[in-house]
Amino acid sequence: MDSTQPLEVRPSLYALLSRLFTYPLDAEVLSLVAGISFDEVPAEPVAGPALTQMQCALADGGSLPDLIEALNCEATRLFEGPGRPAAPPFGSFYLNGQQLMGPETVAVGRAYLEAQLLPERNGNTPSDHLALELGFMAALAETESPGMLAASRDFLTQHLLKWVPAWRADVLAAAPHPFFTGLADFTQAVLEADLAWLDETNPMLAGSPDHLGNKPQVYSLTGDGGAVPSNRATEMKG
């Protein structure tokens, strides 16, 4: 994917990343990862090797049921616990002194409201969970208006890229399964490449986000890894 061209795959790429942090992982989402083409990822030094590492980990992972079980066990250790996980996927943990449900959670929720896009959540998942933030980026990317592009850039600079590098460092320090090493590298690479594209091709981005309607829309994941703003909520686990 040429970073100087419009990122036509932005919605599906962000939505796939969101699904990869939505548990449990299943055969469908792993198949999507295995099928990604290098034409669909940022043309920068980290994303390609990171994708290769993820795909090799899937190819070398043995039987599919055993691989799914191993990846979900590792995801639990890294991101969920029991006890303190190695790399909690919450912005507030990294931005508010390891406090969950802190000011960052409120700020992210406010960003969702300002864009008139609300996540369909499973249970009481905080707004600043990585899966929800990536799903929000996917929903924003569905509408390439100046306001939504500006909202995408603002969310990257004011939220995701303020904490994802520290989260990635924690993932790598935990000596994870190779799939998650690649996933952590790939996630940060996509965020940084998207910001570079927004800055390069839309240097005058400014202003507040466009509204999609008179009341907030609910964003949710589709079966093929895409994300759509929709009034009818479908399940997205966070």
Domain ranges of the chain: 10-230
Residues 108, 111, 113, 118, Cα dihedral to 10°: -60
Using alpha carbons, select from 100, 103, 108, 191 the residue that is nearest to residue 153: 191
Instruction: Convert the pLDDT of each residue in 111-126 to its tens digit.
Output: 999 888 887 765 688 9
For 141-176, what is each residue's pLDDT tens digit? Answer: 988 788 888 899 999 999 999 999 999 999 999 999
Task: Domain 10-230: give its CATH code.
Answer: 1.10.3480.10
What does the DSSP 8-state code read for residue 35? T
Instruction: Quote the pTM value.
Output: 0.84
Containing 131, the helix (H) or strand (E) segment is helix 130-141
Backbone angles phi, psi at 233, to 5 degrees: -75, 135
Is residue 80 within 8 Å of 123, Cβ to Cβ? no
Helix (H) or strand (E) holding 72: helix 64-75
The answer, yes or no, to whether residue 23 has pLDDT greater than 70, is yes
Q: What SS3 state is found at 63?
A: coil
Asked if omega into 49 is within 30° of 0 (cis), the reply is no
Checking if the pLDDT of 135 tops 70, the result is yes
Lowest-confidence pick of 146-155, 193-202, 213-222? 213-222
For 29-82, the pLDDT digits (tens) are 999 999 998 777 776 678 899 999 999 999 998 999 999 999 999 999 999 988
